[in-house]
Chain A
């Protein structure tokens, strides 16, 4: 549904995005992760037809975002980062206005459905200036969903929501993502981990990693950390573990658990378990520690050397 090829945008001498290439398929939630100023909003604005790229192409539903901008805008439901609303309007009137602009048939019925979906059916007559930030966010999401778009583009959709609302909104996005294409820009890593089928990490206008959150985690963690718990004699058990080939940094933490590291391609867990059992220890726990998406994000977007996706592949292959 979304195809981006060599997309570049310059603001004067500054390059906001640099030759971006990616696709998003139908029935996929694609996460767009990156620090502030990475180029997420610029990319989204190009995809929604708000601004043109300097070079490269972008297509939504087979329509070029510049040449067939109107067709693209019909297909896309968009929630900008700023959640633009008319403060002097009532929620219902605002949604009616947006529905009329999209020339939706039976707008009243659609508005009722959306109000129920975003949980504001009892507040439909509230003035927008009097509602909370979380409600504003939901109204913004509501207008993006009104015309049941094939492509939903959301720029930081859960900012300002309380934990309950965040869960609700994430569930809405997940459900929509089953049948349609969702492009979700966020800097909340756990959100990307929970909702997205695939994640693009963008930094300084370039894609530095692209994969499913789980795959990214496994691809990018060359060292595996493992925690071991035995019933008695942790010190002695640690000595035996140190003797196993390929195991590094064995230590005992404050809880009496043994921690060690091994290279991901030399998984030593089976050897460790066998050794400890053979030596007569009661093995209570042997758990690999999962590298969080947060670690990956920080690794990829830190100021110093930027690890490109190809470099990551090489590092993994070594």
Chain B
């Protein structure tokens, strides 16, 4: 446990040494700020209640989809490339501790970004009378957090497979896009097959569940399962170095 925290802490603070993290944060908050101003203006002009979900959507797409491959590629691919992975793998830490530490550090960074976005619902809550639907906001944040957990775990897992950062980034992006488009075949299918592909989609449980204020067990299970599976495969990938 202590090793996981040591690695996570190093990973988390490492983001603040990297300009990429600041660029990701700045772009996210700039776009969300523009959206907030835009929707508040629309609300004033057309006397419509602004919807916080449109602003939070920025976090899911494009931010998570584009930032995850960039931020997670440095977790293990960069270590492999610079040789520091050899140092970690010859230190007295277990392989799962390494993967969990890397994931948790990255996830903590996402949690920080997500926490900072509470600013927007707070502003909306202040300017709108009698305030926004707080349970809806909470359900959205639970969904966003779970999705961030699954995406970062997937990124760390893919990062463990490569020595080339570009290959790692492109593969992560490709896998995330595949999981996003996974529901497409459902349009041509019916019954269990259609349900299978629909449930495979990484955004499905968010858009049609948490985003609508529904915190469903299937949604929670999906994201937690994806997180656990990715971390398990990542650990096996690291372990496989000791077999080859």
**Residues on A close to B: CB < 8 A?**
45, 48-52, 66, 69-70, 73-74, 76, 78, 80, 82-89, 97-98, 100-103, 143
B3 interfacial by beta-carbon distance below 8 Å: yes
| Cβ 8 A contact of A50, one of B3, B82, B90 | B90
Q: Known contacts A51-B242, A51-B244, A101-B6: does B92 contact A86 (CB below 8 Å)?
A: no
A17 to B150, CA, bound (A): 42
Query: Measured between C-beta atoms, what is the minimum distance from A84 to chain B in Å?
Result: 4
A70 to B93, CA, bound (A): 7
B187 interfacial by beta-carbon distance below 8 Å: no
A204 to B235, CA, bound (A): 34
The residues in B between 1 and 40 inclusive whose CB is less than 8 angstroms from any CB of A are: 2-3, 6-7, 10, 14, 17-18
Additional A-B contacts beyond A101-B6, A102-B92 (19; CB < 8 A): A45-B86, A50-B242, A51-B241, A51-B244, A52-B242, A66-B242, A73-B91, A76-B90, A80-B83, A82-B83, A84-B82, A85-B84, A86-B84, A88-B14, A88-B17, A88-B18, A89-B17, A98-B87, A100-B2
Q: Which A residues touch B7, using CB under 8 A?
A: 101
| Cβ 8 A contact of A102, one of B17, B85, B91 | B91
Query: Measured between C-beta atoms, what is the minimum distance from A2 to chain B in Å?
Result: 15
Q: Which B residues touch A51, using CB under 8 A?
A: 241-242, 244
- Which of B89, B90, B243 has the most A CB atoms < 10 Å from its CB? B90
B48 interfacial by beta-carbon distance below 8 Å: no
The chain B residue sitting closest to A147, CB to CB, is B92
Contact of A97 with B83 in the complex, beta carbons under 8 Å: no
Contact of B6 with A80 in the complex, beta carbons under 8 Å: no
Q: Which A residues touch B84, using CB under 8 A?
A: 84-86
Q: Which A residues touch B82, using CB under 8 A?
A: 84, 86-87
The chain A residue sitting closest to B241, CB to CB, is A51
Contact of B243 with A52 in the complex, beta carbons under 8 Å: yes
| Cβ 8 A contact of A98, one of B86, B89, B91 | B91
Q: Which B residues touch A45, using CB under 8 A?
A: 86
Contact of A48 with B90 in the complex, beta carbons under 8 Å: yes
Query: Measured between C-beta atoms, what is the minimum distance from B7 to chain A in Å?
Result: 8
Q: List 30 A-B contacts (CB under 8 A).
A: A45-B86, A48-B90, A49-B90, A50-B86, A50-B90, A51-B241, A51-B242, A52-B242, A52-B243, A52-B244, A69-B242, A70-B94, A73-B90, A73-B91, A73-B92, A74-B92, A80-B83, A80-B90, A84-B83, A84-B84, A85-B84, A86-B14, A87-B82, A89-B17, A97-B6, A98-B91, A101-B6, A101-B92, A103-B2, A103-B3
Contact of A101 with B90 in the complex, beta carbons under 8 Å: no
A143 to B92, CA, bound (A): 13
